[in-house]
Chains A and B, each alone.
Chain A
Amino acid sequence: GENVEQHPSTLSVQEGDSAVIKCTYSDSASNYFPWYKQELGKGPQLIIDIRSNVGEKKDQRIAVTLNKTAKHFSLHITETQPEDSAVYFCAASSTSGTYKYIFGTGTRLKVLA
């Protein structure tokens, strides 16, 4: 069935360094890829998304890249700050078929001051 694998499960970086989280999807029909940030005790919040017609999207310190051939996409956070510490989830969905989000298992990012 449809599956999204996310790595790593935990990631610790020094403040100011970059962090990269990678996801791989199985459904070749997937064409929408959102990333969510979940802070303790809160719901997931959309931070960036990308559609399959582009290869990269950037929003200030956050960027997402997509490789459709390899069926993987990545979240890049530059100049990390302590407030970036959270759990990050990737997801994949298709605008044909079921439209469901298939979520990755999450990455706990810890930014060390």
Chain B
Amino acid sequence: DAGVIQSPRHEVTEMGQEVTLRCKPISGHNSLFWYRQTMMRGLELLIYFNNNVPIDDSGMPEDRFSAKMPNASFSTLKIQPSEPRDSAVYFCASTRDFYTDTQYFGPGTRLTVL
């Protein structure tokens, strides 16, 4: 079975540019989570969806960040405009049932904003 798929795996961009990260959850999973990982702050939950509906976006750091889940098999995390402090590894995770907890992580996107 294919796991969580993220693209791109690496992204290098310049400050002020728009960045879009993509995620395809495991087929049949109905909850999706976006995390950010940095050395200073560890793993931070940014936002999560259940049945394509955003449930909690309290972790989104600023209005520059937005996320969508137009259907059960695709989600995007957008940063516009990007800043150097957004440099991090962004992970997507999915779970079959929101209430049974086990989250499966993708390989991550390493974002570098120059």
**Chain A residues within CB distance 8 Å of chain B:** 32, 34, 36, 42-46, 49, 89, 93, 95, 98-101, 103, 105-106
* B83-99 interface code vs A (CB 8 A; 1 in, 0 out): 00000000101000011
The 9 closest A-B pairs by CB, nearest first: A43-B105, A103-B43, A32-B101, A44-B105, A43-B107, A43-B108, A105-B42, A43-B106, A43-B91
Cβ of B43 and Cβ of A98 under 8 Å apart?
no
> Which residues of chain A come closer than 8 Å to B101, judged between CB atoms?
32, 34, 93, 95, 99, 101
Nearest-neighbour CB distance to chain B for A81, whole angstroms, equals: 23
A and B contact pairs by CB, cutoff 8 A, 29 listed: A32-B101, A34-B103, A42-B107, A42-B108, A43-B105, A43-B107, A43-B108, A44-B43, A44-B91, A44-B105, A45-B105, A46-B102, A46-B103, A46-B104, A49-B102, A89-B43, A93-B101, A95-B99, A99-B98, A99-B99, A99-B101, A100-B45, A100-B48, A100-B56, A101-B45, A101-B101, A101-B103, A103-B42, A103-B43
> Which residues of chain A come closer than 8 Å to B45, judged between CB atoms?
100-101
CB-nearest residue of chain B to A49: B102
Nearest-neighbour CB distance to chain A for B75, whole angstroms, equals: 15
Nearest-neighbour CB distance to chain B for A103, whole angstroms, equals: 5
Instruction: Compute how far the CA of A46 lies from the CA of B42 in the bound complex, rounded to whole angstroms.
Output: 17
CB-nearest residue of chain B to A99: B98
Nearest-neighbour CB distance to chain A for B58, whole angstroms, equals: 10
Instruction: Compute how far the CA of A93 lies from the CA of B48 in the bound complex, rounded to whole angstroms.
Output: 14
Extra A-B contacts (14), CB below 8 Å, given A34-B102, A42-B108: A36-B105, A43-B4, A43-B91, A43-B93, A43-B106, A44-B105, A46-B102, A49-B102, A89-B43, A95-B100, A99-B98, A100-B56, A103-B42, A105-B42
Nearest-neighbour CB distance to chain B for A47, whole angstroms, equals: 12
* B1-14 interface code vs A (CB 8 A; 1 in, 0 out): 00010000000000
Instruction: Compute how far the CA of A52 lies from the CA of B69 in the bound complex, rounded to whole angstroms.
Output: 32
Question: Which of A95, A99, A103, A106 is the most central at the interface, judged by chain B CB atoms within 10 Å of its CB?
Answer: A99
